[in-house]
Chains A and B, each alone.
Chain A
């Protein structure tokens, strides 16, 4: 910079740098749009009622992904049901109760660490604990419990952050009216923190829906012959796992088509998730924000 400034004036440098930053921003958006459109362009033509609801085939072409679609949402729902109460509880503790002490420090360190544990490691842990030690085998319940470990740290952080954004005087008003701490949290703090928590929940659900490494060795790569099968001890291959399986190991001749179709299904689901929850969440926040003043 010091040598360059003699050759090119700072004004021109500023222009060049600004141009480069714009370019970077556009490249970043461009990559995303390319990914989404490529997957939709390739995959949407594959999507048919037979494909979406049909039975998979191991060797012949023309198999569907019905059971995998069902399993994806079943495992996702179960894992969220397990993680939400725990994560909200931990988030409330960190935001409302935690003092500045060793315990809090340890919990924070644990949550941060859990968030960076690679998902394959979580998968192997689930395999040791749920599949082997607790004898669940490759099952929907084993997969959902392991997937919970992925959801927890994100949900804890989001809950804590959302609760912290609720103004202190809301709490003071409630406490001054004679409400207990729990009543205050339940009636005043949580409803106001809800939009933020919902947004975080969407992000978590999207991530969990596409998760593969955790589920291969806990929910397995096979599906039940019945559809829908609510038995939590049945093996439960999900869409994302199936997409990987057909590409890496599968023998079906139309595996590229199947993978394209699943890719499009996953992208569409994630787009719907984001539009359905994120945008109403933002609107709600804005509305409440404006009524505050």
Chain B
């Protein structure tokens, strides 16, 4: 009897320690994200001991050998490719989500689900490589431009890469719209398309917006695929066909040549910090959308 009680007591103590272990591993997530912000931030902000804030953000002359650190063209390049990717990819992804949620027969849906997973699983270098060997030459011959590298090639590849994000999250949002809303609309004599357009899409709007913002986060941070097709030239893009550069692609091209701790190296960490803050900002926006939906 005594031994039984003791054994049970041991089990309960064990139970408690296991619980601490779980809490610790959960708290590790917070520690990691804080460490990323602090270390990347600290390394990046050192740039400002040698470079002025306005030079970094508002000038486009990038020539670290000559001590010029104007990163505006990379920031603008990142924003351009992201917007282009959304313009090209979001309508297709949304239409695909509507198709999967409401129109496709169930056997086709069963095929398309794992297919969207495969989209995610294709490595970004493979996207970049296909961009380099198909899209860039295609743009070169089709639009009769000198290189084919540039915003359009990057935006096109990114548009494909963000499809799974938009499709899966929007589809979830569409499917979670309560059935009675849809039935009421159909019962009033609306066609399926009228129901989708006037009832389902507005009701699923918060989820759709979330999917688009997450897609933007993926596009702005994409490194390898963009680096392979954008042309990597530090200049402000004035057309869709002009080689330019983005924050991540510039980091990956230059990091290997820069001594760790130099102003040049630090400025690349500053670019990483800008990227980090943009993606954290997007998470906050998504949270706001989710809260409004609950309210």
Contact = CB atoms under 8 A, between A and B. Distances in A.
Interface in A77-97: 85-87, 89-90, 92-94, 96-97
B22 A85 contact: no
A140 interface: no
B103 interface: yes
B95 A114 contact: no
Contacts of A111: 29
Interface string A93-107: 110111000010011
Contacts of A29: 111-112, 115
Interface in B132-172: 132-134, 160, 163, 167
Chain B interface extent, by class = 35 or more
B27 interface: yes
A28 B129 contact: no
Contacts of B184: none
Interface in B93-117: 93, 95-96, 98-100, 103-104, 108, 111-112, 114-115, 117
B246 to A, nearest CB: 10
Given A90-B25, A266-B126, A274 B117 contact: yes
Contact of A121 (B27, B114, B276): B276
Given A38-B134, A110-B33, 13 more contacts: A11-B191, A13-B193, A32-B119, A85-B25, A90-B25, A113-B279, A116-B214, A121-B40, A121-B279, A124-B40, A125-B36, A221-B256, A263-B125
- The 10 nearest A-B residue pairs measured at CB: A210-B123, A118-B221, A24-B95, A89-B25, A206-B121, A14-B191, A93-B22, A17-B193, A25-B99, A213-B223
18 contacts: A22-B99, A24-B99, A90-B28, A110-B30, A117-B280, A118-B222, A120-B248, A121-B221, A182-B15, A183-B11, A203-B121, A243-B125, A247-B132, A266-B126, A273-B121, A274-B114, A274-B121, A278-B117
